[in-house]
Every structure is written in structure tokens, then in C-alpha cells.
Amino acid sequence: MARRYEMSARERARAATREEILDAAVELFGPAWFDEVTLADVAKRAGVSQQTVVNHFGSKIDLYLTAIGERVAPRLAAARAGVTPGDVDAIVACVVRDYEESGDGNIRIVALAGRLAELREVLRRGRAWHRAWVEEVFAPQLARRRGATRERVLTLLVTVLDVTTWKTLRRDEGLDPKQTELHLKALVEGVLAA
């Protein structure tokens, strides 16, 4: 019986260490480029050895992908949850809030996917998820359209609400979040009116 308890305590400690490493990875990778963060940086922030990080995750890219899958993606899904389908103001406000928190990191993933093959699948899944979300929240407006027209409107809505459009407005044009929201709303309304 004592041995079983010891194994359980060891498993709990291992799980806690894993969570601390993931916390540190999210904190460090969030505001930085992939190349700017080392496993030694993550280990130091987590209070463990670099070998412990390797033992848990194998490599920096595997740690990065795990952090995206287990921490970032669920947080983004939660940020987009609860929007009333068809409510353009709420949909656009939700997207801007999301990108204010995650947009720069998403843009870094888009850029990195060009040279890190492991991120291409993350990007593909992220785009598919975004498209499905847009289709869900614009279901009332899309219900009036059929065939190629529906697909064109959906594709345009996906593009208007893509992180790269947010980046153009916020980072390239220098608009503040409220102005960005107004511009995106005007683009969405233009697509829906066409």
C-alpha cells in the first residue's frame, strides 16, 4: 500500500512539474518569437533543469506545440464562446478582444509556419477552426444564401475577420481597438450587403 501511495505522489509531482513548465513556456513564448526563447530560459522560469524540460517534452518545438494545444487554443476558444449568432456588433467586438490578446502571437505563428513545417498543421487547424466559428456565428445571415454565393460570402467574412486583417488595421495602419472594431464592422456589413 505504501508503494502505491509513493507512486501516486510521484505522479502528482511529475504532473505539477509539467504544468509549471507549460506555464513558463506560455509566459515566455507569448510575447516573443520562437527563436528568442531557449529551453534553458523555460527551465529557469519554471525552476527546473533544462534536462527536466527535455524529459517532459523532448524538444523546444514539441514544448511549443504542446503549449499551443493545451493552453493557447483552449483560451482562444473560450474567448470566442458565447457570442449570439447573427449579432454583428458582438461578433466583431469578440474578434477584436481576442486579437488584442492573441493577435501578435498568431501573426508570429503565421510567419513561422513558412519555415517550421511543424507549425503548418497548427495553422491549418487554426484556420479551419476560425472558418467553422465564422460560419456558426453568421449562420442567420448565411441561411439566406445558397451554393456559390453562400461560399463566397463565408470566405469573405472569414477573410475580413482573420488575424491578418486585424494586423493590417491595428499594427500597419495604427488604429486603436475601437477604430479597428468600427472598420471591421464596416467591412462585415459591406460583405453582408453584397
pTM for the model: 0.86
Residues carrying CATH 1.10.357.10, the chain: 1-81
- pLDDT tens digits along 31-66: 999 999 999 999 999 999 999 999 999 999 999 999
What DSSP assignment string belongs to 101-137? HHHHHHHHHHHHHTT-HHHHHHHHHHHHHHHHHHHHH
- pLDDT tens digits along 114-161: 999 999 999 999 999 999 999 999 999 999 999 999 999 999 999 999
Rounded Cα gap, residues 181 and 89, in angstroms: 9
Rounded Cα gap, residues 44 and 158, in angstroms: 40
CATH code for the structural domain at 1-81: 1.10.357.10
